[in-house]
Structure 1
Amino acid sequence: MQDMGNGMMHFAPHVTRDRVISKFPKCYTPQACLQMKDDWDSQAKAACKHRTDRHQGWDRLKMSKAVVVGDLNVGKTCLIKRFCKDVFDRDYKATIGVDFEIERFELSGVPFSLQIWDTAGQEKFKCIASAYYRGAQVIITVFDMADIKTLENTRQWLEEAMRENEPGSFSVFLVGTKSDLLAPEEHQRTERDAVKMANEMKAEFWSVSAKTGENVEEFFFRMAALAFEDYVLKDMERGITPFSIGGRDSIKSDRANLEDPQPKLVKMNCC
């Protein structure tokens, strides 16, 4: 978001006001978070300030890829649809193969997009879905808080996604859905188990409800902010100067998914 000097605020194309993130989003619980912080990394913050001060164009959008994995019927698609479309559909249909959404943000004055890949939880589609794990900057492992077995299975889902990516190239989130179905005491017990699992995974834990919308936007904002900051810092490590970040000739529009050819999509359906 830029001040145009006439009292008007200019947003990146296709970025709505509710996708503008100016302050670093907080974590859900300090017991399981990727970073304890309340502001952007100082180097990343300086790089973004240089970029906006030079009024660089919005034509080269940064983009990261997030893959959502987990058992069948844990609520992966409902979670994504609640954030992207602000809807909750009770009529569940299993995802066939893969599907994805693109969400556009403005973070610290810089445009940023997320490809959010919704993968099938059924065993017969694993060979299809796993092909789309490659190139992920974020791995989101999802479980049903009302079904503790799905929490145990997140280990396997994470291992499968990690096999398709280079070590250290991604961050991990553990998300418990359907929190609205649990009584307070049961919720606390499940959350303690989830925090323990998150620490083993080196993941950040979030408890959400796609039905009520509780913590859904907060989770995606936090995830987007961490992915964006990681993107900027890695650009700087590769020698891209603060003045060229987001510039026309410096980076490709989708490092995560467009530099290398992806397998051709098969038939897709999404609840």
Structure 2
Amino acid sequence: MHFSPPVSKNRIISKFPKCYNPQACLQMKDDWNAKAKTVCLDRAARQQGLDRLKMSKAVVVGDLNVGKTCLINRFCKDAFDRDYKATIGVDFEIERFELSGLPYSLQIWDTAGQEKFKCIASAYYRGAQVIITVFDMADIKTLEHTRQWLLEALRENEPSACFIFLVGTKRDLLSPEECQRTERDAVKMASEMNAEFWSVSSKTGQNVQEFFFRVAALAFEDAILQELELGNSSARIGDGDILKADRAPGSLEAVAVKKSCC
């Protein structure tokens, strides 16, 4: 019998998480996909293996000092330290959730933003279901750099198989007027990336949990739907077999829009 420890109460997602900004969202809906919902409630399907521990992979990319590690640690450890040392190569956390009554885990890979570690970090991009590109809202240059970070991550993955997010950090450092201006620029960039935009503060925790809940919900639902399409409920989500990484896009225009789950 498969056994996994109980999920923390603050990791149970009972309702489909809403997007932050309707102008830049991946899915305009307020409930789970009907097919996925039925499978999650189907006891027979559970006995076929859909209640086994599922796992998807999210990679977090962006410039040095944009707050990637702070973002992850705020969610995973509910901690904030402005003096984190730069990540060397890669690091990762695993967060366990319960969605629609089923257990699910998200691997969150924290990658280095320094040029000298790019070769090391890029080796860990492959097999990602989620790509999170991060920029510093107080440094608009880092927003422009997210284009290149996304392209590098997509060289190791099939664009149509990935959810893409654009996350602006350190919103607490901006005035409401500055935040509004920066968000307008970010929404435009997110549209070019076929990404969903979120604005967060790791210092205050604003929007951090909501963002990762959204990531987990979309990745989980898509994984269930992929298993249904494959007709193989025993396949382990996140093992890379259901992803093809043999296409290297040359521009953001090569990024395919994520198929609708509605």
Q: Same fold (TM over 0.5)?
A: yes
Equivalent position to 2:211, from 219, 235, 256: 219
Question: 1:57-91: per-residue Cα shift (whole Å, max 9, x none)?
Answer: 89721100000000000000000000000000121
1:123–1:49 Cα change, 3 Å: same
User: Is 2:146 the counterpart of 1:146?
Assistant: no
Residue of structure 2 aligned with 1:158, choices 150, 162, 180: 150
Aligned partner of 2:120: which letter? I
| 1:79 is aligned to 2:71 | yes
* Aligned residue among 108, 125, 136 for 2:128: 136
In 2, are the aligned partners of 1:67 and 1:138 still within 8 Å (CA)?
Answer: yes
C-alpha contact 1:12 1:58 (8 A) present in aligned 2: no
2:202 to 200, 210, 213: 210
Distance 2:50 2:7 in 1: 11
Identity score, percent: 77
SS in 1 for 2:187: helix
Match of 1:252 in 2: 236
Alpha-carbon separation, structure 2, partners of 1:207 and 1:193: 12
Alpha-carbon RMSD: 2.0
User: Do 1:12 and 1:106's aligned partners in 2 also have CA atoms closer than 8 Å?
Assistant: no
Name the SS for the 2:39 alignment partner. Answer: helix
Does the C-alpha gap of structure 1 residues 221 and 154 become closer, same or farther in structure 2, counting only changes over 3 Å?
Answer: same
Aligned to 1:134, what secondary structure does the other structure show?
coil
TM-score, L = length of structure 2: 0.87
Matched-pair contact (CA < 8 Å) for 1:144–1:151? yes
Equivalent position amino acid for 2:61 in 1: V
Q: Distance in 1 between matches of 2:167 and 2:102?
A: 27
Task: Give the equivalent residue in structure 2 for 1:118.
Answer: 110
**Which residue of the other structure, out of 69, 91, 116, is the alignment partner of 2:61?**
69
Deviation at 1:120, TM superposition (A): 0.1
> Which of 70, 73, 96 pairs up with 2:88?
96
CA contact (8 A) 2:51 2:102 kept: no
For residues 106-151 of structure 1, give each alpha carbon's deviation from its aligned partner in whole angstroms, at most 9, with x where no partner exists.
0011111000000000000000000000000000000000000000
Deviation at 1:167, TM superposition (A): 2.8
Structure 1 alignment gaps of length 5 or more: 1-10, 260-271
Tell me how far apart the structure 2 counterparts of residues 256 and 21 of structure 1 sit (CA, whole Å): 25
Correspondence for 2:23 = 31
Offset of residue 239 of structure 1? 1.2
Residues 27-80 of structure 1: per-residue CA shift (max 9 Å, x gap): 001000000000000000001010488577897211000000000000000000
**Which residue is equivalent to 1:194?**
186
For the Cα contact (< 8 Å) 1:63–1:256, is it kept in 2?
Answer: no
The count of residues paired between Structure 1 and Structure 2 equals 240
Looking at structure 1, the residues matched to 213 and 44 of structure 2 have their Cα atoms a distance apart, in angstroms, of: 21
The reply on whether 1:40 has 2:32 as its aligned counterpart is yes
Which residue identity does 1:24 align to in structure 2? F
Residue aligned with 1:99, SS: strand
Amino acid at match of 2:143: L
Q: SS at 1:132's partner residue? A: coil
Larger CA Rg, structure 1 vs 2: 1
Deviation at 1:253, TM superposition (A): 6.2
CA displacement 1:176-209 (0-9 Å, x = unmatched)? 0000000010000000000000010000000000
Counterpart CA distance in 2 for 1:53 and 1:137 is 23
Change (3 A) 1:29 1:39: same
Amino acid at match of 1:13: P
Residue ranges of structure 2 left out of the alignment (5+ in a row): 244-262
Amino acid at match of 2:25: C
Give the structure with the larger helix fraction: 2
